[in-house]
Amino acid sequence: MAVAGGAIVRVEGLYSQKGTSLRYTEESFDDSVEVRFRLRLNYLELPVLLGWQSRSTQGPRFSVFAGPSVGVKMSSSLAFTSIELNGEDVTDDFESEVEELQDELERSLDLDDAVSKIDYGIVFGAGLDIGALTMDARYTIGLKDLTTRSESAVMKNRTFAVMLGYKFK
């Protein structure tokens, strides 16, 4: 929404998936075991962005924007990805055990309690509109520690996103 002199206000609703890879390493005697996991977090995000957009009536229109964003976690999942023994991938050798561990992990770990339901951060970005086509690139810096069960671990989202859209008039 244009305000005045090229100033814009954008209130958006976005679905986004964020995630990370996690490693757990255990060393005993001469052996080293490393287990890797993949964490996925799905959010409904509500950014409120203030910015400036060129006022060109012909040709492309460029914009820059920044503002706060609040995300509500819709769902989360944690899955095994690999097991290494002394630096060698042995995931296939332990296929049945991995399936059992995955089942046990899902039963014993409640991600809804372990990861905060609310996330917030600051968004910075730029966009380009060419006719009805719109493109944005943005970076979000998470400000909230998402861990709820650990005093030593800190987990914050950092996201780079590229979006392509079509404006209906």
- The β-bridge partners of 80 are 37
* Residue 1 forms part of a structural domain: no
Please give the pLDDT value at position 1: 64
DSSP 8-class letter at 96: H
* Residue 124 forms part of a structural domain: yes
Residues 6+ apart with CB under 8 A from 75: 41, 42
* Residue 2 forms part of a structural domain: no
How far is residue 43's CA from residue 157's CA, in Å, rounded to a whole number?
Answer: 11
Higher pLDDT, 77 or 113: 77
Among 24, 40, 41, which Cα is nearest to 32's?
24
* Residue 133 forms part of a structural domain: yes
* Residue 54 forms part of a structural domain: yes
* Residue 128 forms part of a structural domain: yes
Q: Quick check: 76 pLDDT over 80? A: yes
The 10s digit of each residue's pLDDT in 131-157 is: 899 999 999 999 998 877 766 677 888
The 10s digit of each residue's pLDDT in 31-49 is: 888 888 888 889 999 999 9
Q: Quick check: 101 pLDDT over 80? A: no
Q: Quick check: 100 pLDDT over 80? A: no
Total of domains in the chain: 1
| Helix or strand (DSSP H, E) at 103 | helix 95-108
The CATH code of the domain that includes 78 is: 2.40.160
pTM > 0.85: yes or no: no
The 10s digit of each residue's pLDDT in 114-134 is: 788 999 999 999 999 998 999
Backbone angles phi, psi at 165, to 5 degrees: -145, 175
Please give the pLDDT value at position 51: 96
Using an 8 Å Cβ cutoff, are 36 and 21 in contact?
yes
How far is residue 148's CA from residue 17's CA, in Å, rounded to a whole number?
Answer: 20
* Residue 150 forms part of a structural domain: yes
Q: What is the mean pLDDT of the chain?
A: 85
Beta strand segments in the chain, E: 7-11, 14-28, 31-53, 61-85, 88-89, 118-130, 133-142, 158-166
Containing domain of residue 51, as a range? Answer: 7-166
- pLDDT average, residue stretch 59-71: 95
* Residue 23 forms part of a structural domain: yes
